[in-house]
Structure 1
Amino acid sequence: MIGLGGAIGTGLFLGSALAISQAGPATILAYALCALVAFVIAWALAEMVVVHPEAGSFGAVAQRYLGPLAGFVQRWTYWTIQVIAVGGEVVAAGLYVRFWWPQLPLWALVVFFSAVVLGANALAVRFFGTVEYWFAMIKVVAIVVFIGLGLVLIIFGLPKSPATGLTNLTADGGFLPHGMQGLFLAMVFVLFSYIGTEVVAVTAAESEKPERDIPRAARRMVLRLVLFYVLAIAIVLAVVPWTVTAQGGTVDTSPFVRVFESAGIPAAATITNFVVLTAALSSANTNLYLTTRMLHSLASDGYAPAWTGRLSKAGVPRNALVLSALGLGLAATLSVTSADSAYIALFGISVFGALLVWIMILVTHWAFRRASASASSVRLWGAPVTSGLAALFLLAVMVSTAFIDGLDTAWMAGLPFFAILIVAHIVITRRRSLSGSKNAERHRGDR
Structure 2
Amino acid sequence: MAAAEAENPRKLMKRAYDSFVWRLMFFFLGGALCVGIVIPYDDELLSQYISGSKSGSGTGAASPYVISMVEFGIKGVPDLVNALIMTSVLSAGNNVVFSAARTLHGMAVDGKAPSLFAKCNKFGIPYYAVIAALSFCLLSLLQLSKSSSTVLDWLVGICTASYLLNYFGTVLTYLHFHEALKQQGVDRNTLPYKGRFQPYAAWYALFGTFIMTLILGYNVFIHGQWDITTFFTNYTMVGFFPVAYVFWKVVKRTKYVKPGTADLNLGTVKEEIDLYEALYEPPRRGKIGTYFNKFFE
Quickly name the TM-score band, shorter chain normalised: 0.5 to 0.7
Contact 1:349–1:413 (CA<8 Å) still a contact in 2? yes
> Structure 1 residues 348 and 251 mapped into 2: Cα distance closer, same or farther (>3 Å)?
closer
2:196 maps to 1:388: no
> Structure 1 residues 336 and 415 mapped into 2: Cα distance closer, same or farther (>3 Å)?
farther
The CA RMSD over aligned residues, in Å, is 2.7
Amino acid of the structure 2 residue aligned with 1:278:
T
Number of the residue aligned with 2:84: 275
Separation (CA, whole Å) in 1 of partners of 2:69 and 2:163: 34
Separation (CA, whole Å) in 1 of partners of 2:33 and 2:178: 37
2:172 maps to 1:363: yes
> Structure 1 residues 402 and 251 mapped into 2: Cα distance closer, same or farther (>3 Å)?
closer
1:368-383 maps to which residues of 2 (within 5 A)?
A: 368-372=177-181, 373-374=186-187, 376-383=191-198
Number of the residue aligned with 1:309: 118
Number of the residue aligned with 2:278: none
Number of the residue aligned with 1:239: 38
Separation (CA, whole Å) in 2 of partners of 1:343 and 1:236: 29
Separation (CA, whole Å) in 1 of partners of 2:65 and 2:246: 47
Number of the residue aligned with 2:269: none
From 244, 247, 251, the counterpart of 1:421? 244
Where 2:198 maps in the other structure, the secondary structure is: coil
Where 1:303 maps in the other structure, the secondary structure is: coil
Contact 1:348–1:409 (CA<8 Å) still a contact in 2? no
Displacement of 1:311 in angstroms is 1.0
Amino acid of the structure 2 residue aligned with 1:277:
M
Where 1:401 maps in the other structure, the secondary structure is: coil
Displacement of 1:221 in angstroms is 2.5
> Structure 1 residues 301 and 389 mapped into 2: Cα distance closer, same or farther (>3 Å)?
same
What is the number of residues matched between the two proteins?
Answer: 228
Contact 2:165–2:238 (CA<8 Å) still a contact in 1? no
Separation (CA, whole Å) in 1 of partners of 2:79 and 2:68: 13
Contact 2:108–2:118 (CA<8 Å) still a contact in 1? yes
> Structure 1 residues 367 and 233 mapped into 2: Cα distance closer, same or farther (>3 Å)?
same
Separation (CA, whole Å) in 2 of partners of 1:295 and 1:352: 19
Amino acid of the structure 2 residue aligned with 1:398:
T
Where 2:7 maps in the other structure, the secondary structure is: coil
Displacement of 1:265 in angstroms is 4.7
Deviations 1:118-151 (A, max 9, x none): xxxxxxxxxxxxxxxxxxxxxxxxxxxxxxxxxx
In structure 1, the gaps of 5 or more residues are: 1-201, 431-447
1:38-437 maps to which residues of 2 (within 5 A)?
A: 202-244=1-43, 245=46, 247-248=49-50, 250-260=59-69, 265-329=74-138, 331-337=139-145, 338-339=147-148, 341-372=150-181, 373-374=186-187, 376-404=191-219, 408-418=231-241, 421-422=244-245, 425=248, 429=252
Q: Which has the higher contact order (CA 8 A, sep 6+)?
A: 1
Amino acid of the structure 2 residue aligned with 1:414:
M
Contact 1:345–1:413 (CA<8 Å) still a contact in 2? no
Displacement of 1:309 in angstroms is 0.7
Where 2:85 maps in the other structure, the secondary structure is: helix
> Structure 1 residues 234 and 299 mapped into 2: Cα distance closer, same or farther (>3 Å)?
same
Displacement of 1:377 in angstroms is 3.0
Separation (CA, whole Å) in 2 of partners of 1:212 and 1:227: 23
Amino acid of the structure 2 residue aligned with 1:417:
F
Where 1:242 maps in the other structure, the secondary structure is: coil
Separation (CA, whole Å) in 1 of partners of 2:165 and 2:89: 24
Contact 2:161–2:235 (CA<8 Å) still a contact in 1? no
The percent identity for this pair of structures is: 24
| Greater fraction of residues in helix | 1
Contact 2:164–2:213 (CA<8 Å) still a contact in 1? yes
> Structure 1 residues 427 and 340 mapped into 2: Cα distance closer, same or farther (>3 Å)?
farther
Deviations 1:414-444 (A, max 9, x none): 13532563476358637xxxxxxxxxxxxxx
Contact 1:296–1:317 (CA<8 Å) still a contact in 2? yes
Greater shift in the superposed pair: 380-389 or 339-348: 339-348
Where 1:381 maps in the other structure, the secondary structure is: coil
Amino acid of the structure 2 residue aligned with 1:306:
S
Separation (CA, whole Å) in 2 of partners of 1:232 and 1:251: 16
Contact 1:402–1:409 (CA<8 Å) still a contact in 2? no
Where 2:42 maps in the other structure, the secondary structure is: helix
- TM-score in terms of structure 1 length: 0.46
Deviations 1:180-224 (A, max 9, x none): xxxxxxxxxxxxxxxxxxxxxx20011111111112112213211
Separation (CA, whole Å) in 2 of partners of 1:359 and 1:294: 17
Displacement of 1:353 in angstroms is 1.1
